[in-house]
Chains A and B, each alone.
Chain A
């Protein structure tokens, strides 16, 4: 007889009612710990530990020159170096511009427009367009960026040159070096727009039908309806998308890495940190300086993530388990 059977036997002998029997079986056990253990190990190893390591190494001069043994503790010197670095303002300004443009024109603007248009036309057609807009998100990043590189490519190959520039009689060129900022915004924007699109579309679809009807009866135009009925309804998702996407845009660099590798002045802050630590181009991998750059983003990320969680009242989503209460 194993342990379980013994306890059942005892319970039956004692004639406990079912609820008490559950309590007896559930209380005081640490099953939860075993269920959580793998997740805890992974979270500690790949979230907590790296956060500590980031801040720790940012206080050292560790690089390939010093190796893993001969590094020295230099305190806040890396941060002072960042403050005095001639490129700091350049990267900062580029990052702000990049986040602002992508957010306003795509993650909010385009996603709102697509959500409005696809909920305006018949359901099936709307669904098809939304599915198309999700494609960039689901496409492996290297392929997706490759498409954009071919769109921008030089004549006679590039699509932009062939379809738009040549018929207009303008000077053809490779548009990636010519308008690098435009392309990093476009490449990220076409991925980012689908996030807001889904949230906005489902919010629009959940607006009570009589509200829409009432505005129709009142003879309001489509634009008036958007302005006075739909947008006020979207206040919450708009706020959520803005905050959430600001953070992910600020730290994203994968697309830019594949598109330009930081060339043509497209090195946003996160990519700058990554290149300092990993790019063999300069010969010396500056882990200390790179982690200091990253640490600033980590700090912003932690603060904003905590603020969002508080602000969006995620705690209300957390219901208590009802196993012991009937």
Chain B
């Protein structure tokens, strides 16, 4: 009888560990591999296939200038996406939550439809939009750092990323604004605040957790995004860390997996750090539904 109880207690854990194993193995492999000459399965080995071969040489890619170019680009992309999504969503979310205007319901429905709509199907057409933007003088392709907002510029990639993230951001921000007390806003308006000042000085401080959640989420999305820079940047290997890594992945011989794992870990670290420390914030967004990757 006692044994039966013990077994029924253990079975769920065994099943969970079994099902979760591929995920755990993937991460363990990355950790082991980065510090090994090569690995047989999860076993670190040296050149002759004997156990050992610990090394830091896989990290020599850090001394190549290319990695820092792509890291800088990726950082700009992630920050640009974050700032853009947060500001535009904060504005639209406020109007949708707090202001009565003709077509409000329609706009909200539209936001939801766009949220469910699979944006990846529009990638080909967006290519043409970006080409048109590139024709605009200055805005198109003559801005320092981000290059511009057209095709084959970092700014263009940022703009597309913002747009794709927007339905989720607006919906999320609207939800947070809905929770703020109406009395506070009324008081501000009665005291003669304009709508913009009410929004900026009174409302925004009330939804700081929402802003934090959306910022972290957007940053992670931008930092790891692959398909958009891969599609709209001509020289993909010099675009972002993700496209750089993909380039290595499709070129190098499989024996060089240790170096790939190191580049991977390099890109993974900020994501993991964010994830570990801000899980609760992020969970609120995942529960709201994330699309894209199935």
Contact = CB atoms under 8 A, between A and B. Distances in A.
Interface residues of A, number: 124
Most A CB within 10 A of own CB, among B16, B89, B257? B16
Give the interface SS of chain A, mostly helix, strand, loop or mixed.
helix
A42 interface: yes
B124 interface: yes
A248 B225 CA distance: 17
B112 A309 contact: yes
B190 interface: yes
Given A140-B271, A142-B249, A321 B292 contact: no
A252 B292 contact: yes
Given A45-B129, A53-B128, A198 B260 contact: no
Interface in B175-213: 178, 182, 185-186, 189-190, 192, 194-196, 199
Contact of A323 (B40, B100, B129, B250): B100
B82 to A, nearest CB: 15
A41 B232 CA distance: 20
Contact of A199 (B126, B282, B287): B287
B26 A147 contact: yes
A325 B137 CA distance: 48
B277 interface: no
Contact of B249 (A53, A146, A161): A146
Interface string A138-155: 111111111111110110
A277 B89 CA distance: 32
A76 interface: no
Residue of A34, A189, A248 with most chain B CB atoms under a 10 A cut-off: A248
B20 interface: yes
A305 B291 CA distance: 12
Interface stretch (B50-58, B60-68, B103-111, B140-148): B103-111
Contacts, number: 332
A254 B224 contact: no
Contacts of B69: none
A290 B114 contact: no
A73 interface: no
A228 interface: no
B195 A117 contact: no
A195 B199 contact: no
Query: For chain B, what secondary structure do more than half of its interface residues adopt (helix, strand, loop), or is it mixed?
Result: helix
Contacts of A291: 124-125
B170 interface: yes
Interface string B34-45: 000011111100
Contacts of B75: none
Interface in A176-212: 186, 188-192, 194-195, 198-199, 202
B95 interface: yes
A118 interface: yes
A46 B271 contact: no
A264 interface: no
Nearest to B9: A121
Contacts of B49: 156
B107 A278 contact: no
B26 to A, nearest CB: 3
Given A146-B260, A157-B40, A31 B249 contact: no
B290 interface: yes
A274 interface: yes
Nearest to A278: B231
Nearest to A295: B121
A173 interface: no
Contacts of B242: 140-142
A315 B113 CA distance: 11
Nearest to B15: A117
Nearest to B123: A274
A303 to B, nearest CB: 10
B226 A161 contact: no
A43 B114 contact: yes
A147 B30 contact: yes
A129 B20 contact: yes
A107 B291 CA distance: 13
Interface in B261-294: 261, 264, 267-268, 271, 275, 279, 282-283, 286-287, 289-294
Closest 10 CB pairs of A and B: A162-B41, A140-B224, A147-B26, A46-B163, A50-B125, A251-B118, A35-B95, A39-B92, A192-B294, A53-B125
21 contacts: A31-B196, A32-B99, A32-B101, A35-B99, A36-B95, A38-B88, A42-B159, A43-B110, A43-B114, A45-B129, A50-B126, A50-B128, A107-B294, A132-B23, A132-B24, A142-B267, A151-B25, A159-B42, A258-B226, A294-B125, A309-B116
